[in-house]
Structure 1
Amino acid sequence: MLKQRIQDDMKSAMKGGDKPRLGVIRLLMAAIKQREVDERIELDDAQILAVLDKMVKQRRDSINQYEQAGRPELAEQEAFEITVLQGYLPEALSEAEIAAMIREAIQATGAESVRDMGKVMGQLKPKMQGRADMGAVSALIKQLLGS
C-alpha cells in the first residue's frame, strides 16, 4: 500500500538524517491524515494519489508566483518538494499517450463541442489521476473539441 511506503520512507529519512526530505514527507502524511479525519475514512491508494496530485499542483502554482515575485530560493524549495512528491506518483504519461487517451474518450462519449468536456474529463480523470497534469489535459481537450 502507498501509505505504508510513505511511512517507511519517513522512518528511513529520520534514521538517515535527511531533514529536507523528512519535512516534505511529514507534510504529505499530515495532508493524508487531515483528509482521513475530515472524512472519517481510511484513504486507499487512489485517494492518496488524489492528495499527492493536489499537493504537486499547489507547488507548481507556488513556483509560478515565487518566480514572478523574484524569490528564486522559495521556488527552488517548492521544486524540491515536487520531486519528492512525484516519487510516490505512478509513472507520468507521455504526451502521445495523453493525446491518444483523450481521442479515445472523445469517441467513447460522443463529445462534439466544449460543452461535452465534462463527459470527457469524467472518463479520463480516474485513468490519469497522478499520471498527468489535469490542467494541461483540460487545455488539450478544449483544443481538440475546437474551443
Structure 2
Amino acid sequence: MSIQIGDSIPNIELRVMGAEGPEPVQTADLFAGKKVVLFAVPGAFTPGCSKTHLPGFVVKADEIKAKGVDSIICTAVNDVFVMDAWGKAQNADEIIMLADGIGAFATALGLDKDLTAVQFGTRSQRYAMIVNDGVVELLNVDEKGIDKSSAETILAAL
C-alpha cells in the first residue's frame, strides 16, 4: 500500500550533491517544519522527465514558492551524480535534486515501480505531493502521462 494523505513521510537517508561532493541527508530534515512540493520521476534524462516534468517545475518555481512553499524537491531512483548533472543541465537551481540511489525512499512510500521489462529495474512512479511539516496533504500519482503531477496542477492545488 502506498503512502496516503495524512501520513507522515518516512525518514530515509538519501543523497544530495554538496559543495564538496555527495552528502547524506535525512528526509526528516528536508520536511520538518516546512511546506514542501515533492515530485518524483521514473528517471533522470528520460524524455518525458526532461522535456516536460522537471522543466515545468523549473519554470514555475517562483510561482510555487510565492504560494508559501519553502522547498521544491525532485527525486528519482538515480545516483547523486546523475541527479546533480541533470539538475545542472535543466537549470534547476531552485530545486533540490534528491538522489534515491537504491530506491529505498520510493519503496518506503509504496510508490516504487518494477520496470525490469524495459531494462530499468525498480524505479519510482511518477507523482507529486504537497507535504506540510512532514505530513502529506496532497498526493497525485500518474498512471500515464504527466497531468496529475505537473507543475501546473500542483500550482493550482496550492
For the aligned pair, the TM-score class normalised by the smaller chain equals under 0.3
Q: Structure 1 length as normaliser, TM-score?
A: 0.26
Give the alignment's TM-score, normalised by structure 2.
0.25
Q: 1 or 2 for the larger relative contact order (CA 8 Å, sep ≥6)?
A: 2
Instruction: Name the larger-Rg structure.
Output: 1
